[in-house]
Amino acid sequence: MSGFARGLLVGAAAAVAVGASLAAFTPISFDGPVASARTKPQLWHEGTDDTPAAKSLVPFTSFAPLVKQLKPAVVSISTRSVVRYRAMDPFEEFFRRFMGEPPYRRDPGEGTRTMPRSLGSGFIIHESGVVLTNNHVIERADEILVKLADGREFKATVVGRDPKTDVAVLRLDNAKDLPTVRLGDSDALEVGDWVVAIGNPFGLSHSVSTGIVSAKERFIGAGPYDDFIQTDAAINPGNSGGPLFDIHGNVVGINTAIVAQGQGIGFAVPINLVKALLPQLLEKGHVSRGWLGVMIQDVNESLAESLGLEGTRGALIAEVVEGSPAEKAGLRHGDVVVSVDGKPIAGYIQLSRTIALLAPGSTVEIGIVRDRKEMRIPVTIAEREDDQPVTPARGTRPGGESVKTLGLTVQEVPAELARRLRTRGGVLVAEVEPGGPAATAGVAAGDVLLEINRRPIRSVAEFREVVRALRPGEMTLLRLQRGDTAIYVAVRSSG
């Protein structure tokens, strides 16, 4: 784990992933435990630039009118968990008093303790008591208590949650006619726009801080679908789950993470991402994500040159999963995905987010570049299963065919390794010359070289034959298998 990732304070843990179709979400009313998706009920109040809160800011001289209208719908959240232990200890009171053990409250039943777990924030999106917050604020909680700005307290139950986006939906027990906030359009935010954060930092309820949007679409290593709004508005532990407002009083994000080693750097989940999840969370309590079935990577300048692309756009398919929607539709490794339903794809992160947002069973047109020709292929999206960790294989083998043109040494793939990697053909990269062309491109010892310039390599002899035909200075496209994943790299061969 990088030092940057370790520095993220998320209260417990923050994750970012997505799962319903953006086109599917509509503003909703919540009259029962779960509203049917077929009736398209109004689950939240959609914000505009003409809300009452926005009108109060003309002319803009203070945030006070805005804050006054918004604070009633922002809540403080505290949780408790029941900790079970094996037996009663007759000396517990002694250790509690004289050894500094925290004075937990003993429940009537033997062998349990009720202890406070976390403090966080949230906000009411429907007057019937529907609250949005972070998943890590309420995760593993046995009791959730929500306190409003006017002092009223409600017990809450979890309606739905999604750990990969760190989003949770709560319902307050026996609540009605509560103040609400409106959900805005985070896509309309621009870097430099004013934002307001309201929350419960360090237990200081309903604290207000202001700042600007510092960046959008931030990838911070919290998850495969990172898409954070970065802001310099003060966000501290306890702000988690609280709203980030624009100057019109619309929620544009859920405050989620801070960087421990830096001040003025906070992150929020975009509200459009949250609105995409809400119908599923309210109806079935969890999120189903779209799945295409490809291993993808970004296109850098070297790869773009070797693939004959104009610019570094798109996501390069390094591998197609057997039996996946991509394979059934005819997508191939080496294709570069440049659009989904006409929406341009800048890189692999954007493609991952876009596919995950699609509803399983929906059909989309995937725009690709294949052999320097653009085409569109219809693909029916399947439901994604949980992500499986990939552990790249590493190691070197002595001996083999040394090629100075590429700066590496190869040998036949041992039978045992071939069975473990489930690969046919290829040659094993035994050594990589430090500072050589292959090392510069990112080739590592332990990689299995599968193709050179899209020509399959089945043996050291074939490798030797293909390398002899390479011209000095030209960009050479290599397809590698690294652990369970295939990748492309571009190597400029030396003289």
Catalytic residue IDs:
136, 166, 240
Give the CA dihedral 22, 316, 222, 189, nearest 10 degrees.
Answer: -50
Could you tell me which of 285, 66, 97 has the C-alpha nearest to residue 182? 66
Burial class of 312 by CB neighbour count within 10 A (0 to 12, 13 to 18, 19+): middle
Q: Whole-angstrom Cα distance, residue 406 to residue 327?
A: 32
> Residue 73, SS3?
helix
Q: Whole-angstrom Cα distance, residue 77 to residue 166?
A: 15
Q: Whole-angstrom Cα distance, residue 109 to residue 95?
A: 20
Q: Whole-angstrom Cα distance, residue 356 to residue 374?
A: 24
Which residue's entry shows tokens 């053990």?
101
> What is the DSSP annotation of 204-221?
-TTEEEEEEEEEEEE--S
3 phi/psi in degrees, rounded to 5: -60, -35
Q: What would the two tokens of residue 170 be? A: 């709560």
Q: CA-CA distances (angstroms) from residue 68 to 13, 107, 168, 249, 431?
A: 31, 40, 26, 10, 66
Q: What would the two tokens of residue 413 be? A: 């793939």
Give the CA dihedral 321, 444, 311, 375, nearest 10 degrees.
Answer: -20
Q: Whole-angstrom Cα distance, residue 438 to residue 188?
A: 43
Q: CA-CA distances (angstroms) from residue 70 to 182, 242, 284?
A: 9, 12, 29
Q: What would the two tokens of residue 182 be? A: 């409106």
DSSP assignment, residue 48? -
DSSP assignment, residue 407? T
Could you tell me which of 1, 57, 18, 38 has the C-alpha nearest to residue 358? 18
> What is the DSSP annotation of 457-492?
--SHHHHHHHHHTPPTT-EEEEEEEETTEEEEEEEE
CB neighbours of 169 closer than 8 A, spacing ≥ 6? 130, 131, 132, 158, 159, 160, 161, 278, 281, 282
